[in-house]
């Protein structure tokens, strides 16, 4: 990599507003694409729930383990996005295709390994949880089908990350929502059991997910192969950026994947804590967490856009552009999450009514939603800061911060607040608030501290 360069007087100065426009142009399709990720499970749950409450239980228990693996796997592929952006910043667009080729190979191995592990270990794990035999068997069958779709989903995400890093996020957005359309149609056809095929309920939803993810992977790969500049990008050639770049791509993925696994696993543990309190508390917490996950897709999309811009600046060894991209990402995220809070707080009752009409549940969900507004902002900041740090080569400190904040701090606080102090669902929310402020504060401070140092 070339030596760090200083900004010279000949380089045209850019205003902050130009940077905001560049970020938003890249971010809005990414945000909509990330919302499409949550839509898969939401559509499945609605269609299956309308068919049978018991089948919805099969679906929920079968879906949950695959989501932990899916989240970690998508994190492991973040190196595709970061390394592609760096090569673009270096002016080596012809090396970008090699990053994609490695990413597709990684995603295939990762998908096949994840499928094998879930199919072999998932059903026994569900039975070991102490579920009633019929519930464990039904959830296990659904889990197996969901697991078979993971290779397609990982391959698709490698392609989507590649396109986003090239500054072309709209095809990924279109592909994600086209796949959601396939998922909806397949669910409506298969779930009620009138398709003529020997499937119904949760297992049918699993096959709908399989079909939609296969369609997603095919759409993305065909689009990339048909791009006029595909050959110039090196899509059809062997990687030319060397073993060091390949190792860096894997290293970034390891850090991001570990963070995703820690966060998703920690929130799964919080759901178990809620279940220990009572059925109503578990339902209320799940509703609040569902709202928070949907809102989180906004900062998650902004974090991807920020990482692309930071990665390009890092590849170009332009420290000023790198810092500007990070600060703009922080500022836009803060504005977005503040606006969301101003909508959620007064609309808490309407949001709660979308989940239940039970007075006891409404009395838990509405105040917890207002309280949740305290973690929306720092939670958004921490994911943007983590991605910005990884894009500039600081891979493992974000993972360490997530381990400390969410595993070491949040889970014990959740137990103490919810059980020890008898705060119930609000206690779980307070634990998330504390963890988010710690994570967001540490990661933002780290980025600002590194901003004073030369790039290496």
Identify whether residues 212 and 148 lie together within a single domain.
yes
Q: Which of 240, 268, 299 is the last residue of a domain?
A: 240
CA distance readout (Å), 274 to 185, 226, 232, 263, 285: 34, 49, 53, 17, 7
Instruction: Give the Cα separation of 340 and 256 in Å (integer).
Output: 26
Identify whether residues 216 and 266 lie together within a single domain.
no
Identify whether residues 104 and 225 lie together within a single domain.
yes
Contact 364, 424 (CB under 8 A): yes
* Host domain of residue 201: 15-240
For residue 9, tell me if it sits in a domain.
no
For residue 31, tell me if it sits in a domain.
yes
Identify whether residues 277 and 224 lie together within a single domain.
no
Contact 309, 387 (CB under 8 A): no
What pLDDT score does 10 carry?
42
Identify whether residues 198 and 309 lie together within a single domain.
no
Strands in 211-293 per DSSP E: none
Identify whether residues 235 and 263 lie together within a single domain.
no
What pLDDT score does 411 carry?
92
Identify whether residues 203 and 326 lie together within a single domain.
no
Instruction: Give the Cα separation of 201 and 49 in Å (integer).
Output: 9
Identify whether residues 213 and 261 lie together within a single domain.
no
Identify whether residues 218 and 275 lie together within a single domain.
no
What pLDDT score does 4 carry?
42
Contact 390, 446 (CB under 8 A): no
Residue 318: what are its φ and ψ, rounded to 5°? -105, 95
Mean pLDDT of the region 363-368: 89
C-alpha of 372 from chain center: 19
The percentage of the chain sitting over the pLDDT mark of 70, rounded to a whole number, equals 94
For residue 407, tell me if it sits in a domain.
yes
Of 245, 255, 300, 258, whose CA–CA distance to 390 is shortest? 255
What pLDDT score does 5 carry?
40
For residue 236, tell me if it sits in a domain.
yes
Identify whether residues 216 and 315 lie together within a single domain.
no
Q: Around Cβ 55, how many Cβ atoms within 10 Å? A: 23
User: CB-based burial of residue 420 (10 Å sphere; 0-12 exposed, 13-18 middle, 19+ buried)?
Assistant: exposed
Identify whether residues 260 and 226 lie together within a single domain.
no
Contact 430, 413 (CB under 8 A): yes
Instruction: Give the Cα separation of 98 and 129 in Å (integer).
Output: 43
For residue 420, tell me if it sits in a domain.
yes
pLDDT grade for 16, boundaries at 50, 70 and 90: low
Instruction: Give the Cα separation of 92 and 104 in Å (integer).
Output: 20
Q: How many domains does the chain have?
A: 2
Q: Around Cβ 219, how many Cβ atoms within 10 Å? A: 20
For residue 171, tell me if it sits in a domain.
yes
Q: What pLDDT, in 10s, does the model give residues 314-333? A: 988 888 999 999 999 999 99
For residue 311, tell me if it sits in a domain.
yes
Contact 36, 180 (CB under 8 A): yes
Residue 18 has pLDDT above 80, yes or no: no
Output the CA torsion sign for 113, 146, 60, 28.
positive
Mean pLDDT of the region 287-303: 87
The percentage of the chain sitting over the pLDDT mark of 90, rounded to a whole number, equals 50
For residue 2, tell me if it sits in a domain.
no
pLDDT grade for 52, boundaries at 50, 70 and 90: confident
Instruction: Give the Cα separation of 406 and 411 in Å (integer).
Output: 7
Identify whether residues 175 and 306 lie together within a single domain.
no
Q: What pLDDT, in 10s, does the model give residues 168-189? A: 999 999 999 999 999 999 999 9
């Amino acid at each position: 990599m070339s030596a760090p360069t200083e900004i010279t007087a000949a380089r045209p100065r850019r205003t902050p507003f130009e940077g905001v426009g560049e970020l938003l142009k890249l971010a809005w399709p990414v945000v909509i694409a990330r919302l499409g990720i949550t839509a898969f499970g939401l559509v499945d749950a609605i269609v299956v729930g309308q068919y049978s409450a018991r089948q919805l239980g099969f679906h929920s228990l079968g879906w949950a383990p695959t989501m932990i693996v899916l989240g970690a796997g998508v994190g492991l592929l973040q190196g595709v996005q970061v390394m592609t952006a760096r090569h673009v910043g270096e002016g080596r667009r012809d090396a970008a295709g090699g990053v994609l080729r490695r990413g597709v190979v990684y995603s295939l191995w990762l998908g096949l390994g994840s499928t094998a592990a879930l199919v072999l270990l998932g059903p026994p794990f569900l039975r070991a949880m102490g579920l009633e035999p019929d519930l464990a068997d039904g959830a296990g069958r659904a889990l197996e089908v969901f697991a078979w779709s993971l290779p397609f989903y990982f391959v698709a995400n490698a392609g989507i990350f590649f396109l986003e890093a090239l500054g072309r996020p709209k095809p990924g957005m279109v592909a994600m929502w086209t796949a959601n359309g396939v998922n909806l149609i397949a669910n409506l056809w298969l779930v009620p059991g009138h398709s003529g095929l020997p499937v119904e309920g949760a297992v049918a939803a699993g096959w709908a997910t399989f079909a939609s993810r296969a369609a997603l992977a095919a759409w993305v790969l065909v689009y990339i192969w048909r791009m006029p500049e595909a050959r110039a990008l090196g899509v059809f050639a062997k990687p030319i950026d060397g073993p060091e770049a390949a190792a860096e791509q894997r290293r970034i993925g390891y850090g991001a994947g570990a963070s995703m696994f820690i966060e998703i696993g920690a929130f799964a543990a919080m759901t178990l804590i809620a279940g220990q309190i009572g059925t109503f508390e578990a339902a209320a917490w799940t509703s609040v967490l569902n709202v928070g996950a949907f809102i989180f897709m906004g900062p998650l999309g902004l974090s991807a856009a920020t990482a692309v811009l930071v990665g390009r600046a890092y590849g170009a060894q332009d420290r000023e552009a790198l810092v500007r991209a990070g600060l703009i990402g922080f500022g836009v995220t803060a504005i977005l999450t503040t606006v969301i809070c101003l909508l959620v707080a007064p609309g808490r009752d309407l949001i709660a009514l979308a989940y239940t009409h039970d007075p006891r549940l409404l009395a838990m969900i509405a105040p917890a939603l207002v309280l949740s507004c305290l973690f929306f902002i720092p939670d958004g900041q921490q994911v943007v800061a983590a991605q910005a740090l990884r894009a500039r080569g600081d891979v493992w400190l974000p993972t360490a911060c997530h381990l400390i904040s969410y595993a070491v701090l949040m889970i014990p606080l959740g137990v103490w607040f919810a059980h020890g102090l008898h705060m119930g669902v609000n206690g779980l929310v307070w634990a998330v608030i504390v963890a988010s402020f710690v994570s967001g504060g540490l990661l933002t401070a780290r980025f600002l501290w590194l901003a004073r140092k030369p790039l290496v």
